Each structure stands twice: as C-alpha cells, then as structure tokens.
Structure 1
C-alpha cells in the first residue's frame, strides 16, 4: 500500500471507516516529517512533500505474491517493508512496526487577528493578513513564476513567514528567481492582485526598519527571523513607505523555543582539514565540503565544541557525532544527534551519508538536531542550523580604468590588504574587510600610481563600480576622498565571499543597501579633469 494512504488515516482529525481514507493535501504541502520505524528503532524520515500521493514509497506485506519472509540477507523483514523507487539502499527498511508524523501544522490554523482582506485604516490600504504564524526549522519548496524552477527555501525567513500566512489567509503570491544566481534569494513581484510594474512594487520592514530585499543579506529568502519579529510586507509606489501603501501584510513571527547552539552562515573553501577523534585521539583527514566540515567551520564563530568518534572510520570512512555543546549522546536515555540537508534526514551511520563523506552544495541548509533517536528537528531539544556557502575560489581580475588602466589580480589585492591598507565595516551580515575605494581610484586617477590626487578629486569626476553583469553604482570623487566609508571588500567574517558575491563587493557606511554592488569586476573613473595635478596624498591609509 502507498505510504501516503496510511498517513492519510492519521494526518488530521477526520475519521475513516477503512484504509482508503481522505488524504490532507493542504497539510502535506505545509510540511511535516513522516518517520517509518523498524522494530529495532532504525528510522527512515521523509518529508510530507516527498511522499505526497507518490507511488515511490510503498509499505509492502508480500513479495512475489507470498508473505514476506522473516529475514532477507540476514536482515529482519516481516511483517512490512518500506520499498519503492524512492527508497533504495539504506532508505529501504524492513520489520516496520510504526509510522510517526511529527511537526504537523494545525489543520485549522488560527491567526491572532484579521485574516480577510479589509481596509487597514483611514489610508485605505487593504490588509491581506494581520496575525501570527508559527515557523519551524527546516525548508519548504518555492517555485519561481517566471522560470518554473523550484527551489528549497529556509522556513525561518520572511519568505517562509509569507508562505505560512498564505496558508492561513488563502491569498497567493509570485516570486521571481531572476537574481537567485547572484544573490541567493527570490524577489517578491506580486501578492493577490497587487503586482509589480514600472512604478509600483512590494517591499518589507522588520520591527519597523526598512529592509533591502534586493540584497543577499536581507533578501526575503535568506534573512533569518527570530521569535517575536514583526514583519510588514507592503505594496505601493517604488520607494514609498508602509504609511503610503495600498496593500499590506502584517505578520508576527512565533518560533517554538529550542536551545539554538548556532544559527548562521559559513563559507567553505574546497580542501581538507584534520579532525581528531575524541575516543581514540587519532587524526583523520576530512573533506571540508561535508557536514563535518561545515560543523567545524561553525564551531569557531559559534564558540561551541563538539566530539566526533572514529569507531566506524575503518568500515564507513566517516566519523560520528557524539556531542555538540552541552548535549552528549546518551544510549540509556535514547538520545542522539542526527542531521538533515534541506529538510531531508540523512543516514549518518552510512558511508554515503556520513557527516565526513556526504557532499554539500552551495546554498544547502544543514541542520544538526538533538533529541530522541528517530526524532526530527521539530521535536529536538537542541539545534545547530548552518546555511552553507561554497566559495568559488581561484583567481580573478579587477579592471581599473582612469587616466591609466590597471588589472588587479587576486594576489595583488590580497597583498595590499595584508600590507596594512585594509579597512573594515560591520553590518547585519558581520564584518567586511577589503580595500578603500579611494585606494583603488588612486592607482589610476593620474600617472602617479602611489598617490590619490586630491586636486582632481576636488574638481570632480564620477566613480562607477560595476559587476560582471553590468549592474553598477556611481559615486562622486568628492565622496570617496579622505573616506573609508566606501570599501571594495574581499572577505566577510574572515572568509572569502560566497558565490553570490564573489570575488568582491562594494560595501561601507556610505553605501545604502540598494547601491551595494556584488561581483565587482570593473571600476571606471569618468570625466577626470585635464589639469596638472598639484596636490596629492598617500594612499596608504590603513586602520579600521
């Protein structure tokens, strides 16, 4: 029998007279975990979206028209075995005795306030939703209306909250993936009948502060929310405010409390690292681009420690997590650590999906969770949530055009940073470091490459910073003179920039989010005055 039919017997409060029960598609789309459990406790987790009306997950009671044997190849099989095209290898388990659903959304969600469209006040704005949504660690699938491509999106983001609100209020929304490749986030183009056009669009605020949805740090699909956050999506004239909006969505975020050991991003660079097994003291070489590598990277900014055992290294080639922070594996209590990638639980007790072997991809959401063996993040008592970014690495060239032209390669850029010319800037994403835009302009503003020409800057010219795809920001020479508020950054939190930003990004106190250019490839000085320079200043400015 298909697994989904059995799930349909208990997914909601509807009673059923036989095994052909009504299946709740709405709850399946909302997302929960389906655990198929063997008599020895071995568990295979799937998401409700994966099994939804699928013929690839079957609970079999016969093989070749005869009851299942007690064992096959020494493994317990009877009375039921999970089989099917989507349950190959370690995902196919026998001796099934239990099916457990965890993280079920409320079948009739009840927001705290208005959920039907109505005027928001004297301004006449239509309120599409005004209430509370509950979000849980994990991901959901979102399809871009422009391309038809489906992406896995972090549930604890503004888009996750918007998606949850749609299930309550019944409105629809459209997101585009036109900037997914460069920013890793979708853009909101329409909700209900209010759609983006040349003069109007959607924007959002968080706790009263305007956010830049056209950026990697604050995009609707990447910015991480916290319990109690208040979101407002609003539609109106481009650059307008909530007060002048014609449609609004007000969301209060509730996130059930767990011990969150770490919740953040890491940037990984291809290579290996040495990991020591706490049980044997032996050192092992592990690929950085694995869950183990991501956990190691997160432990540094997160300030936590962990224990990994090598008791299965010789047979599986992977280590096993026995402790993270203050949460140790306890066989007697039946508690242990497990992990998911993009909402799918992996078999960390296997060669293919062990923490030291499973290959991660750029943008993966990695979740380590601690609780009763066979549980899920929803029921966990401790969580480590890591958004993985993989740096492209390699070399690059930054082209500088002015009175002269220079090509700055990666080594030259990093040498200048190391030589003391570096400046830093902090924002919601963390600490950026790079070279002042003034320094780079000074290399080509005149024929003296070791100085910044103050006279030419005071007379005025345009500084154009462009990405590889042509997106650009223009500044005036007077803005960047004697200023460290305009930075071409090559690292964030001490790590190379992610694929969405690599190799360089324009940031700084003088750059509003919408003017922050990622993937910087060219800096042009336009309209440099034709005068004899009389005043110059050193470009070695250093400091923070």
Structure 2
C-alpha cells in the first residue's frame, strides 16, 4: 500500500537495440489528495503542548505524555469545502473522550471548544465528541450520519504529523468515510469543555439563498485570514467583516468569500434582522471592503450570550444590532 509518506517510482529502461536508442519511462504514484514529498520522519516538536480544561481543572500535556496514554490507530480523511478529498490515511492518537476524562468528570450536556495556535476555533457538539458526524463516502458522496472516533492525533502513517501538526483533530472511521475538513483543527493548543452551544443558522437571502450553519460561521470568522476585532471601550468584539459574509450570497465565489465588486458598484442595501424583526440597513457603498463593520460572534474571546447571541453587528461606535438571525440583499 502506498502511503502519504511514500513515493513509488518505476523506471523502465527499454533498450531498443535495432534503433540504437534508449527510452526511460518514470511512473509515480500516491493516494488521492496526498503528497509525495517526504521519505523521512519529521521529529516532533519537543515543546508541543496542549492545555485541556474540564470544569475548573486544567491539565497541560506534552507530546511525550500524550504518547504515553492509551492510543488508537485507524483510518481518517476529510472533504474540503472545495470538494477536494484528503486521505484516508492512518492516524494514531488519544481518543477525545479519554483525554477529557483524564482531566475531570465529563458532564451530561456540553460542547467542546478547540483552539489552534493561529486562533482558528472549532466547536464540536457532544454528539460529535461521542463520534456521530454527518459524513461522506470515500469518494465524497453524502453518507448521512456516520460513526467515528474523535481523536487528538500525533501520528500520521506511523510518523509525526507533517501537515497540521504537531497535534490536530482527526475523525477516524473504519470504512474510510470522511468528515468536513473544517472540523480537522490544526496545531491544537487548547481544548476546553464549555456549556452546550445551541446550534443556530444565519439565513442569507441574496442572489444566492442559503442558511449558514453555526460551525460554518465560526470556521470562517476564526480563520486568521478573515478574523477581525473591534474595540468598543474596554470590550473587544471579534468576528468577520460584514462584506465577507455578504460575499457568500452575492453570486461570486461563495466557497472562498470572493466579493462581487460589479454588483456592489451597481448598488444594493443589506438589511440585517434580529430575532424580533428589528433591522438595520447598510449600503453596499459603505460596506464594501470595510473592516470596521463586523459580524461578531465573540466578545472578549468568549461566545456571545443572550440577549446578543448568536451574532452582533458592531462598529467602533458600538453595537448596531444583535441577536441576528437573517440578512437580505435589496437591489437598487
């Protein structure tokens, strides 16, 4: 079997004596989505460490301590938002439930906050921690709910992680089924058990109409490329520029949040609604590429809570509207 860490090269030298020529054919192979750049192991970072918090107890584990815990090995792979499939490869690590239980008692209701070194933040439900995910077949087709083992992985193909390490979130499935790539947090440094996060959706009514799920928002808004902060007095709000979310419904490249400049120049309004039907209107002219108008999901590095939950529209002047549930484009 060819792994991500192997390159197989077959060189056929064919002597064509009658023609006095030599032909060389090089065939290289590797798994779909893998790379063929490495033949040696990368030593683990001796300073790799993860902080795990359950209730009032926090423990710090380094690479060596994690390797000393009970581990599992199995197949894992994911599907990117672009449709690209990565894996499946074999991963080794500590099952998440075992890791949490080593710190404290896991309550009946909870969510899991996973934070990467660059600030990227993933939220996993209790069902996901226990192994129930919406998944895909190995060729990327919808598979419905699949059973997985959620893992804090430190090995890929029996060697320290080259991509996304030294520690990353992995879902293992014995049938080689896949999960969403946005759940596979890289370079994990903090794992925190928090109060249960109620799932929510942001209704987007524009040229494209669809519902952005809470994990899609948190994934985009915590990404280092998109994340923006605004200070209002001694309070810091964090989220994503309003125009970035509008880019998900303006008929440009929704996957990469590419903003539709032509449409913005022609002009339209974005009407932002809260859960009670109140609204605020922002013009495309004032919104386009303006990082001073953000759709915030965090305040002082904590998720928004009621009555502002789940989202607030914030400028340096203050909160314009909160408890946001939908947005609508109104063309001129």
Short-chain TM bin: 0.3 to 0.5
- Report the TM-score when normalising by structure 2: 0.41
Select the structure of larger CA radius of gyration: 1
| TM value normalised by structure 1 | 0.25
Higher relative contact order (CA 8 A, sep 6+): 2
